[in-house]
Amino acid sequence: TMGNWLVNHWFSAAVLAAWLGINIFLFTYYFLFFDRDERYFYTRAILGSALAWARASAKCLNFNSMLILLPVCRNLLSFLRGTCSCCRRTLRKQLDHNLTFHKLAAYALALLTAVHTVAHLFNLERYNRSQQATDGSLPAVLSKMHLQGGNKWLNPIHSNQTTVEYVAFTTIPGLTGVVITLALILMVTSSTEFIRRNYFEVFWYTHHLFLIYFAGLVIHGIAGLVRGQTEESMEEVHPHRCAQYLTREDEGCSHNCCKDPEFGSIPAESWKWVLAPLVLYTFERILRVWRARQKVVVTKVVMHPARVLELQMQKKGFRMEVGQYIFVNCPAISLLEWHPFTLTSAPEEDFFSIHIRAAGDWTERLIDTFQQQKTEMPRIEVDGPFGTASEDVFQYEVAMLVGAGIGVTPFASILKSIWYKFQQADQTLKTKKIYFYWLCRDTGAFAWFNDLLASLEQKMAESGKADFLTYRLFLTGWDTSIANNVALRFDTATDTVTGLRHKTIFGRPMWNSEFAVVAAAHPRSVVGVFLCGPGALAKSLQKSCHQHSSLDPRKVKFYFNKENF
């Protein structure tokens, strides 16, 4: 219901409304300013309303360019997540929407760039038409003012042979505009889910065109081709008084409008908007480089079935929380590429580990490199760890963990940490119950995770807390041979596919019934729902969270959290 959605997302809605409100305010304010301000009376005589469209969209472009880097400052977000650990859950959850906000700002930039470009194409056409006009009209007279020299020119096109293409590729605004637009098109098109998942390298390299985008943005307005009347000239020859005289051929001028108006450029100001975020992002990158240079020792390499590589590593001063992730670089494969991997180790262990599935060129080459090295290990560089939603898992009395395929990795860290907390009889553990769901396509993918679940099962049973963890494994891709095998052994104590006590379920989970069971079992609890998996599953879980949360603050509430890289 709408009520439940607002309860769960009021802060997201407030942030979105503020962002949208500022964009609308900036656009409206500057549109009206350039459409009505008398300093641009003569400029509007040539350009019409296209001037206001170009300038208003430029202001909004600056605003969104200022915002777009902030959500990808990973160290800043980790710092904020750490400092507001005592903040309200709603506030902390906003940090998990960082990439959603980054994409939102990017789509806004794409739309505003289109508006700005179309407006300037109209402007160029009108400048051109006015320059070629010989009818003695106000635009024609204004366009000939460059012949008098000094600051008198208003129309930047001074020749009848000038084309739109010539302006686009020979002037600073034209050339930087083309470069910025091309960089933006490449960045947006290479950021689609399909390219990110299947050709990560393409996404990674094209995204670094942001350097060209910001460089172009800063120098785009330096030439000051769009001009307005200067303050001094306004006092001497105000357009309301004097515009009518410009089109008259007065030889013996006697009135106080004899002097021609003078014009000045609108100063470039993009740099004022983006300077602070660029400085912040530069510090972010310096910190990443410094951390990446610190030595990493690979202590153990395990090759699991279904081409899953486990790397256990040690690094001086490395401290982690459950569910965090790191960025990994292997200089032997590529000096520039960094890929995110969720940590599968627990904070209680004396090493940190990741599990890498073959899913693209870089991961394939990394797995091959480690399989071929018998003596000397390839050098690995690590940046992180960085915080994610899963860090908050122990803040909830009841947690529902949902992993799809290799998306089980953050929950490996959580489950291991619980195992250690039970071993150490940790009294501070707030969590009373964990429901764990793992959706997988093939049986091979279960293998590397079985040992962990088996040892957890045993540990829970020994400590008399067998019902602390309820886990359900769903095999979503299966053939008749598996089905026949299961049918023959349906009455065995352990599962045919995994060897665990909990049986594997064939097919996809019915989330409504799963949530209904949890809501019935914990009628007054706050339940944290954590997902590491695809977007379609996120939508389905989010919907279930809203449907099964009670509007009554004393009753069950489901809070949705998703991993974002």
Q: Does this chain's domain 295-386 share its CATH topology with 389-562?
A: no
Residue 30, pLDDT score: 97
Residue 487, pLDDT score: 43
Residue 536, pLDDT score: 84
Q: Give the CB-side neighbour count of residue 314, counting CA atoms within 13 A.
A: 7
Neighbours of 385 (CB within 10 A): 22
Residue 502, pLDDT score: 59
Residue 419, pLDDT score: 77
Residue 152, pLDDT score: 79
Specify the pTM.
0.75
Please report the sign of the dihedral spanned by the C-alpha atoms of residue 518, residue 521, residue 524, residue 526. negative
Residue 474, pLDDT score: 87
Residue 489, pLDDT score: 41
Residue 484, pLDDT score: 46
Residue 283, pLDDT score: 93
Cite the DSSP H helix spans in 69-209: 74-83, 89-94, 98-132, 138-143, 164-170, 172-189, 193-198, 200-207
Residue 493, pLDDT score: 43
Tokens representing residue 277 in the block:
């975020």
Residue 183, pLDDT score: 96
Residue 485, pLDDT score: 45
Q: Please, are residues 55 and 112 in contact by the beta-carbon 8 Å criterion? A: no
Domain boundaries, the chain: 2-166, 295-386, 389-562
Residue 119, pLDDT score: 96
Domain 389-562 listed as CATH 3.90.320.10: no
Residue 122, pLDDT score: 93
Nearest to 268 by CA among 225, 213, 209, 212: 225
Tokens representing residue 34 in the block:
């350039």
Contact partners, residue 209, CB within 8 Å, separation at least 6: 183, 186, 187
Q: What is the mean pLDDT of each run of 10 residues along the chain (565 residues)?
A: 54 88 97 95 94 96 96 83 58 73 94 96 92 87 81 84 80 92 95 84 90 95 89 90 79 74 89 94 90 89 84 91 88 86 88 86 89 81 79 82 81 82 74 86 67 76 77 74 45 47 76 91 89 86 88 83 66
Class of domain 295-386 (CATH, top level): mainly beta
Residue 6, pLDDT score: 53
Query: Helix 210-220 crosses helix 50-68 at what angle (to 10 degrees)?
Result: 140
Tokens representing residue 530 in the block:
């954590």
